[in-house]
């Protein structure tokens, strides 16, 4: 049997490692140097080089190295190792640091650096090469909020589906103009900050009643969303807010409509679809757009009065002005009511509390002086058109069609 076998230490060219380290540090020191192919230097021992060993006979490096510059021929240069473990090269009749040698090399810009479209990718390569990490959370909160706003955009369309719930989990059904939902899953702090900005500045667009119901079914979105747009068909609007008509199906007001009064909305937009000769319900086939919109606005009034409401889409100018003015009148009454509460040392009231106070005030309106004009609160909006036959026949001067639609007549 032979004696014990010991693992031999692999020889490492320390001098070459020091040279490569210094070259890489010089190249990554600035973005301009990183784009300079003229200092992309490869180092390896020259053929005539002699070994440099330590006191134990282990290899430290060699006396001469070939410096192969990109695009040029290789050049053999003498190298020595100092006691401070620095590699010096013999250049222009003196010993200098490798950085001084690199300064003498001609500048050659990378071909792809001339195009501005490549600059973000090249900057990212530079960051990877110099080992630096961009700490997003070190930015001021104001700048991070601006990044969140530009990342998500100003419109968010939720669409809760089984597939999206499987893929995105907590953030199921977030369809944003840019593919940035994954940004919400970066970490807990970024997620909390981004979600807050998303709810504050983005307009949530609900194009289906089931989407709206799911969106407002949870307390956090209901308390956090500040901008909401409801863009439904005429039939879905009537189902949402409730509607009754002789000979017409009776719809009870849905809980989703009641939830609107629990929200702290800065803006609620009701967007009406274009008039159509065909509809989901036969009762609305070829219906007059003016009449149906009036029905919807009157049905929506108990749920949205007091909110900052914008009426958009295919709606007459007179209808839009009348409804928005009525909502503004109620908001003024609520502001006066809240000023009285603050004068009495009470907190600012909510819309449900105002509704409860209004019901009690109407019941006790006999005698005394009311602090608000109740006649402007209870029935602040009445249809401009009476409930007609089903479906309502269009008697406008210009027929209510998408092609001939005019908001001014």
Helix (H) or strand (E) segment spanning residue 102: helix 98-103
For residues 330 and 64, give the distance between their C-alpha atoms in angstroms, rounded to a whole number: 89
What sign does the dihedral 180-182-183-189 (CA atoms) show?
A: positive
- Whether omega for the bond prior to residue 391 falls within 30 degrees of 0, making it cis, is yes
Nearest alpha-carbon partner for 233 in 267, 207, 258, 212: 207
Q: Could you give phi then psi for residue 53, rounded to 5 degrees?
A: -110, 160
The residues, any chain, with a CB within 8 Å of residue 352's CB and separated by 6 or more, are: 261, 262
For residues 197 and 157, give the distance between their C-alpha atoms in angstroms, rounded to a whole number: 16
Nearest alpha-carbon partner for 355 in 332, 337, 328: 337
The full length of the chain comes to: 409
For residues 223 and 210, give the distance between their C-alpha atoms in angstroms, rounded to a whole number: 19
pTM of the model: 0.65
> Which tokens is 343 given?
């004068």
For residues 11 and 241, give the distance between their C-alpha atoms in angstroms, rounded to a whole number: 82
Give the β-pairing of 51-53 and 59-62.
antiparallel
For residues 364 and 18, give the distance between their C-alpha atoms in angstroms, rounded to a whole number: 91
- Give every residue of the chain whose pLDDT is below 50, as ranges: 161-173, 175-179, 367-380, 382-384, 386
Nearest alpha-carbon partner for 179 in 167, 187, 192, 190: 167
Outline where DSSP puts E strands in 132-207.
155-158, 174-176, 203-206
Integer CA distances (angstroms), 74 to 279, 309, 403, in order: 80, 75, 76
3-state DSSP assignment of residue 86: coil
pLDDT at residue 227, rounded to an integer? 94
Q: Which value, in Å, is the radius of gyration of the alpha carbons in the chain? A: 37
Q: Is 52 exposed, middle or buried (0-12, 13-18, 19+ CB in 10 A)?
A: middle
Give the β-pairing of 51-53 and 243-245.
unpaired
- Please, are residues 70 and 36 in contact by the beta-carbon 8 Å criterion? no
- Please, are residues 290 and 316 in contact by the beta-carbon 8 Å criterion? yes
- Please, are residues 283 and 249 in contact by the beta-carbon 8 Å criterion? yes
Give the β-pairing of 243-245 and 248-251.
antiparallel
């Amino acid at each position: 049997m032979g004696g014990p076998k010991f693992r031999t230490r692999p020889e490492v060219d320390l001098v070459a490692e020091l040279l490569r380290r210094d070259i890489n540090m010089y190249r990554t020191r600035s973005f301009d140097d990183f784009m300079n192919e003229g200092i992309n230097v490869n180092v390896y021992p020259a053929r005539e080089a002699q070994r440099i060993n330590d006191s134990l006979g282990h290899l430290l490096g060699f006396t001469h190295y070939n410096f192969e510059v990109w695009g040029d021929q290789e050049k053999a240069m003498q190298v020595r190792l100092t006691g401070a473990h620095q590699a010096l090269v013999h250049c222009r009749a003196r010993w200098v640091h490798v950085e001084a040698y690199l300064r003498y090399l001609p500048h050659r810009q990378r071909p792809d650096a001339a195009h501005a479209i490549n600059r973000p990718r090249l900057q990212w390569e530079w960051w990877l090469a110099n080992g630096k990490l961009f700490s997003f959370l070190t930015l001021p909160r104001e700048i991070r909020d601006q990044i969140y706003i530009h990342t998500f955009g100003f419109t968010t369309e939720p669409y809760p589906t089984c597939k999206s719930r499987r893929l995105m989990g907590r953030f199921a059904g977030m369809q944003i103009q840019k593919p940035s939902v994954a940004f919400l899953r970066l970490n807990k702090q970024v997620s909390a900050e981004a979600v807050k900005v998303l709810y504050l500045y983005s307009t949530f667009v609900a194009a289906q009643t089931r989407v709206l119901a799911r969106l407002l079914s949870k307390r956090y979105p209901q308390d956090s969303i500040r901008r909401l747009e409801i863009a439904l068909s005429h039939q879905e609007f009537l189902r949402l807010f409730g509607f009754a008509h002789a000979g017409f199906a009776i719809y009870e007001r849905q809980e989703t409509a009641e939830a609107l009064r629990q929200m702290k909305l800065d803006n609620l937009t009701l967007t009406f679809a274009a008039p159509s000769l065909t509809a989901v319900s036969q009762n609305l086939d070829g219906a007059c757009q003016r009449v149906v919109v009036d029905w919807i606005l009157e049905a929506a009034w108990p749920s949205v009065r007091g909110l900052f409401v914008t009426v958009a889409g295919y709606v007459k100018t007179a209808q839009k002005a009348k409804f928005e003015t009525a909502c503004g009148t109620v908001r003024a009454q609520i502001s006066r009511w809240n000023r009285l509460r603050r004068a009495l040392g009470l907190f600012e009231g909510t819309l449900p509390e105002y509704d409860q106070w209004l019901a009690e005030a109407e019941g006790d309106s006999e005698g005394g002086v009311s602090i608000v004009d109740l006649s402007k609160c209870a029935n602040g909006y009445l249809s401009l058109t009476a409930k007609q036959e089903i479906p309502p026949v269009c008697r406008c001067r210009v027929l209510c069609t998408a092609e001939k639609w005019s908001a001014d007549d």
